[in-house]
Chain A
Amino acid sequence: MVRPENLNDALKTLSRGGMTICAGGTDVMVYPPENARLLMVDRLPELKLIEDLGDAVRIGAAVTFTEGIESPIVPELMKAALRRIAAPAIRNMGTFGGNIGNGSAKADSVLIDFVLDAKLELASIRGTRTPDIDKFYLGRKKLDLAPDELIAAIFLPKPKGSWYYEKVGGREALAISRLSFAGVIDVRDGVITSLSAAFGAVADTVLRFKELEAMLTGKSLDEARAMKPDFIAAYDRAIVPIRGRVSETWRKEVCLNLLRDFLSQNGI
């Protein structure tokens, strides 16, 4: 076990190899790797900060979901998703970085990272880089993370306009989300200036279709209403769900219904 005092020491240890990063442990400990040596990042001061950057919030990777919910700075859209994660004991230990490191398309905070175009801060002894979240997810459980890198923080832009969040789960609190949707739309003087929509737990990664979102940007609400059937049909063609426990057609139907509801709640 290594419990470094600061980020620099953590990165040095990580660069020597042979360690498993651990924050909350709520994923690592479900199937604990035998004889694993854990690099504990849960109390690293650099990873525990939440900072207001004006248009965005920087959330340290080792900030827990409970700390996120209790923070006055974290956007309400993120909090809405955090409140739906499991139960208090999981939210008290589970972290933003661990949710990303887990690589799952079901990760509830990651859906919000996608819909808000978050960037990650990745650190190693070689330096830092800040990839866009959608570039960081390469495929099913595949992340663009080098063995000597760790996730230091998430840069989360604050949503502009109004947001919508829905999670359709099995058992209310505990079941890992089976399906989730988040949308953000900004309307100025009756014109849609930006729109984003993300679907969680449908495919190998969170889904977003920026080229489809572009169909409605710059359009008036009247024009958008007229285009709604085409818009939904385009998503119907684009979404290719994975085979899960819940049937594929059901998944897709729920996705499209949530998208419709998001638009109607915003006058479209």
Chain B
Amino acid sequence: MQRFSALSIFRRGLAGHESWQPQWRRAAPKGAYDAIIIGGGGHGLGTAYYLAAEHGLTNIAVVEKGWVGGGNTGRNTTIIRSNYLFDESAALYDHSLKLWEDLSQVLNYNVMYSARGVMMLAHNVHDVQVAKRHIHANRCNGVDNEWLTPEQAKEFCPPLNISPDIRYPILGAALQRRGGTARHDAVAWGYARAADALGVDIIENCEVTAIRRDASGAVEGIDTTRGALNTRKLGVVAAGNTSVVMAMAGVRLPLESFPLQALVSEPVKPAFPCVVMSNTIHAYISQSDKGELVIGAGTDAYTSYTQRGGLHINTHTLDAICELFPMFRRMQMLRNWGGIVDVTPDRSPIIAKTPVPGLYVNCGWGTGGFKATPGSANVFAHTIARDEPHPINAPFNIERFRDGFLIDEAAAAAVAH
């Protein structure tokens, strides 16, 4: 791996930048692997990286039907925070947040993690109570989160309209200062490059079409559009397509796949200092380092695999943005797109062993899994390598739906993340 540093960029710059190698090999499938990961998004690539870096498994393949980071990883609005209500969630998301802090150094890749603060607005009495409950619960778990009055919120984010006569006036906000954003593509590319350097084969344009099992029912291998591959350990990290892939092994999951859309504006000079979310009126916004406003909406109502949704969802969100931030009223929107998010009934993920020996699944991240990429990958690698969950992901099993141990962030927040 050619390491990136100011010096290496300067030296290769003098030579016209022609001596750079591709950041990962264009690996061809090779017969058998100690472990195979299905899905080359951030979570899948990260899993392969931690398997190699922390568990010594290097004969691994990541099999991706399209291109690395072309799924939800490359389509999301990159909000990172860890102020979830329940103890189990706080442990998982905060594990991730801690890994974000030095991820660029660990991967030698600038993932542009920027702890600029995530502010969640409260518009009614219910919102205020929910936000304060979160703040107290977070503090008990050592997760920072603080209450701001409308004036303090405006001081933190000057474009905010705190006028009391708007349709949904702002009664206050919860602020997690360690929250922020990162560069989505860089996360996929950084993990891909670092995993590749440890020997992991990243096989793009390779769709998994079947999961093969032996007489005992255990995983034996997969069939793909680029041939059959053998393995005894198979990790499925296929986000919106998880139900389809798991059906190949006869496993039904409590998942439904919905379109989730986002849009970006024309780029402008730095005007927006932080991330602002309003779950009540379905809008969230930040400004990328390129200058675009990055705006996210709620999910469409119906299940779908089309990676697009209805325009009315976006216009509803823009109505809210224009009222909260009147200065953006005349901005032009440049692009909008959708991803397919896999949603569980309790809005918490599943990172677990399955009833099929050798088959592991990491899914159900729904609208909010980007923030969890490093932590999720880290504990999932542990689960695959040791054939038992890490204490952090043990509660995020499939059996919780049978046994009644839901981690009900849905009821707690009733929101997109």
- A-B interaction: no
> Could you tell me which B residues sit within 8 Å of A by CB distance?
none
